[in-house]
Amino acid sequence: MQPKARITVAAGDGIGPEIMTQTLRILEAAGAALEPEFIEVGEQVYQAGHASGIAPEAWESLRQTRVLLKAPITTPLGGGYKSLNVTLRKTLGLYANVRPCRSLFPAVATRHPNLDVVIIRENEEDLYAGIEHQQTPEVIQCLKLVSRPGCEKIVRYAFEYARRHGRRRVTCMTKDNIMKLTDGLFHRVFMEIGQEYPDIVQDHQIIDIGTARLADTPERYDVVVTLNLYGDILSDVVAQLTGSVGLAGSSNIGDQGALFEAIHGSAPDIAGQNVANPSGLLQAAVLMLIHLGQNEVAARVHNAWLCALEDGLHTADIYRPETSTAKVTTVGFADAVIERLGRQPQRLTPMPAGAAALPPAAPAPLYQRASAVQQLVGTDIFVRWEGNEPGQLGQQLEAVAGPLLKLKLITNRGVKVYPDGHPETFCTDHWRCRFVAAAASTSGEKPGYSPVRFADVLALQQRLAADNVFIIKTENLYLLDGERAFSLGQGE
């Protein structure tokens, strides 16, 4: 007999406890070799004063088991609370969020009967770094952080996933026509690492048209790899196309552990009514069983689930008179799955029982820390200023700038307003003032950018502060290996 795998289980909020109870019932009836340990997370833990929604003791269980099956939780609105999901993913280094979505036609009504797409989403970086600052009364900033090791990990994961699962194509989606540095890095890493996978068809699409095409003709897609925010949105779109967000599970994978959950939220609108669809969490549990090497049980559960759907036993979210035979409750659906354990679906594609375990992923080459010559060539000083005439601010700054640094331009929300701005441009109280070396470049390689000393940048800040300029933050401007490592202002 297979030794029992210890797993950590969190029942969550809203519909969480209902769908978790039924999922565990099905797993037990199917003969899963599991030893669950229960932890408290979510609303009550937030209210008990833990800002991340998880108590310190719970980490101990996670460190031991390294596998978490988690029902959705409710993130309280308002300042001071951090998302538990983001905390778990980042603290445990769960860098890959994998969401397989497949249509269950004709059992479940959908306009896309041949949809079979896996969204692989970067899970730790991007705008979800959670670093936000209000800088002036009018302007708030959210930092988008994208790292080379982060991109390399997720892109390599996507190609390995495709290879191990016999998938043919990986599509990368970014918005690098606008975010040339951050999204540009993701795209570049995709092109670089893609060269190691000549057996996989690969392409890149801008996220907006990519999403539109994916929503229109999803059968043309296979594996999609993208950044955190785009992946979050895209995976809900694709899950909904299969019939309901209530149908899909996801895995969050890291080198040290894994978290399995439904893709939907805690659905407070239907909590406690015994009407929720437990399929998303059950699918997450199937992914967990495969992760634990319990492939036969995974197939038994999955195939019984397909049989229940095929027999038209549908919860309210997917109930349609033309495809359903009965509207069932959460418990009723779990009963139907348990009754069908050991059966094979007739019309839907079964998961092969006893399929060989997936081939292991090729080990990633040891990450070599990126190195480059980093040369300071200027500074962006962001200031709060309530005036309306950018020329006034420009003249004030020019008067104190010299002699080593000169004001190159001022932008407002990224658009150049000085010198030679357009009077039509609407201006907020948040101004980015770019200073570069006063002396012309001598290198000839990058005209306009000459080395600047950090001490001179600090001295400039002191002169500005003494002149009552309200500095709210600064960013240094660098060349990396001689290449400009900052974006130009709109109109610069």
Task: List residues binding ligand NAD (CB under 6 A).
Answer: 15, 72-75, 85, 245-246, 261, 264-270, 276-277, 280, 317
Nearer to ligand NAD, 172 or 234 (CB): 234
Contact 39, 84 (CB under 8 A): no
Lookup: tokens for 435: 């200073």
Contact predicate 227/189, CB 8 Å: no
Closest CB 306 distance from ligand NAD, rounded Å: 17
Centroid of chain to Cα 141: 19
State the nearest-atom distance from the C-beta of 69 to ligand NAD, in Å. 12
Structure tokens at 134: 């209000």
Residue placing its CB nearer to ligand NAD in the complex, 276 or 393: 276
Nearer to ligand NAD, 22 or 226 (CB): 22
Bond from prior residue into 106 cis (ω within 30 degrees of 0) = yes
Report which secondary-structure segment, H or E, holds 430: strand 430-437
Which residues, listed in sequence order, are joined to residue 118 by a DSSP beta bridge? 100, 223
Distances from the Cα of 395 to the Cα of 172, 212, 323, 390, 408, angstroms:
46, 47, 71, 9, 12
The CB-of-223 to ligand NAD minimum distance in angstroms stands at: 22
**290: closest CA among 5, 72, 91, 1?**
5
Q: How far is the CB of 459 from ligand NAD (least distance, A)?
A: 47
Q: Which residue number has the CB closest to ligand NAD? A: 265
Q: How far is the CB of 207 from ligand NAD (least distance, A)?
A: 20
Least distance between ligand NAD and beta carbon 181 (Å): 30
**Whose Cβ is closer to ligand NAD: residue 69's or residue 189's?**
69
**SS3 at position 342:** coil
Q: How far is the CB of 74 from ligand NAD (least distance, A)?
A: 4
Q: Provide the 3-class DSSP secondary structure of residue 415.
A: strand
Helix or strand (DSSP H, E) at 39: strand 34-39
Nearer to ligand NAD, 152 or 317 (CB): 317
- Closer residue to ligand NAD, CB minimum distance, 226 or 379: 226
Sequence-distant (≥ 6) Cβ neighbours of residue 311 within 8 angstroms: 325, 336, 340
Nearer to ligand NAD, 243 or 280 (CB): 280
Sequence letter at residue 174: T
392-407: b or e for each residue (b if 16 or more CB lie within 10 Å)?
ebbebbeeebeebbbb
Instruction: Give the N- to C-terminal CA distance of the chain in Å, as an integer.
Output: 69
CB of 57 to ligand NAD, least distance (A): 20
Residue with tokens 């297979």: 2
**DSSP conformation class of 270:** G
Q: Which is nearer to ligand NAD, 261 or 310 (CB)?
A: 261
By C-beta, is 265 or 451 nearer to ligand NAD? 265
Can you tell me whether residue 436 is helix, strand or coil?
strand
Nearest distance from C-beta of residue 191 to ligand NAD, angstroms: 32
